[in-house]
Amino acid sequence: MKEKSFKFRIIDALLIIGSVLPIAFAIVLRVLTNPEADGIVITGANIFFTVKMPIQDMPITESQVNSWCVIVSLFFICLYLTHGISEKGGLRRQMIAEWIVEKTDDLVKDNMGDFFKSFSPFIAGVLGLSAFSSLITLVGLYPPTSDLNVVAGWALLVFILITYYKLKGGVLGYLKSFTQPFAAFTPFNIISEFATPVSMSFRHYGNILSGSVIAALVAAGLTGVSNMILGRLPGLLGEFPLFRVGIPAVLSLYFDIFSGALQAFIFAMLTMLNISSAFPMDDWLKRMDKKRAKKEKQSNKKSA
């Protein structure tokens, strides 16, 4: 029993280390590659290197590396939460894991219906990846959600799922939907179709980026106020950033924590609503009935 408990703790320790190491690697990489600058500088993601490609070169940026670090960290967090779970329960981590699963299942059921109940892992992944990608600013890392390319990739994946479920009602039904309610609305419906991923990506990206910019500008302004008021004092007193103590931390509660979690929730909600509303349930049921009737006829012919 003691040997089993010792192995259990060793695996726990390895899983915790595996969840922390990717973020630590990203922090070290940023310290080594981020150039020193005087004052506050607002820039995009650093480009580490560029891979030569036939059509267009592919830059490997800080946002891509941080995204993969968040994914690996979340992977080990999930392994830690599910390590040692059993039917009897008893572990606190199992209670947390069960709470996450139950809340995600309820969220998907309330917004998408029973037909899409298998979407719970996908929605949980969207929520976790988006929230943690924004929250890594708390440790000084560049948030991948501040990069339009990253968020646009998520929105493109959602757009593919929307189109896939629209086509379940039939290709003709999908094309006919562009002419509703009148044929004159076809150009507007086509624009609306492609506007969905654009609006999702820009909404998420814009809110996270604007929060980072506002926080940086406020911090710079508070530094100026501190220098203006205390600048005439001798020695270190004149250089002490008095007004930058506490106020940026309060702003961080909103821009880094609340706003990041809120945008993750909004993106997940839009994903669920857009996919479920795009699915033509009635047309799909009619197609299934026709296929079932056709199979029954074929089976009856073979048996006859």
Question: What are the tens digits of pLDDT across the range 73-82?
Answer: 999 999 999 9
How much is the mean pLDDT over the chain?
84
Q: Please state, in angstroms and rounded to a whole number, the distance separating the CA atoms of residues 62 and 26.
A: 9
Quote the pLDDT of residue 87: 81
Question: What are the tens digits of pLDDT across the range 148-158?
Answer: 899 999 999 99
Question: What are the tens digits of pLDDT across the range 212-268?
Answer: 777 777 777 777 776 677 666 665 555 656 666 666 667 777 777 888 888 999 999
pLDDT at 2 over 50: no
Angle (nearest 5°) at CA 286 between 281 and 292? 125
Question: What are the tens digits of pLDDT across the range 72-108?
Answer: 999 999 999 999 888 887 788 899 999 999 999 999 9
Q: Is 242 within 8 Å of 260 (Cβ atoms)?
A: no
Share of the chain above pLDDT 70, in %: 88
pLDDT at 1 over 50: no
Quote the pLDDT of residue 300: 78
Interacting residues of 228 by C-beta distance below 8 A, sequence separation 6+: none
Q: Please state, in angstroms and rounded to a whole number, the distance separating the CA atoms of residues 48 and 33.
A: 8
Interacting residues of 230 by C-beta distance below 8 A, sequence separation 6+: 237, 238, 239, 240, 242
pTM here? 0.84
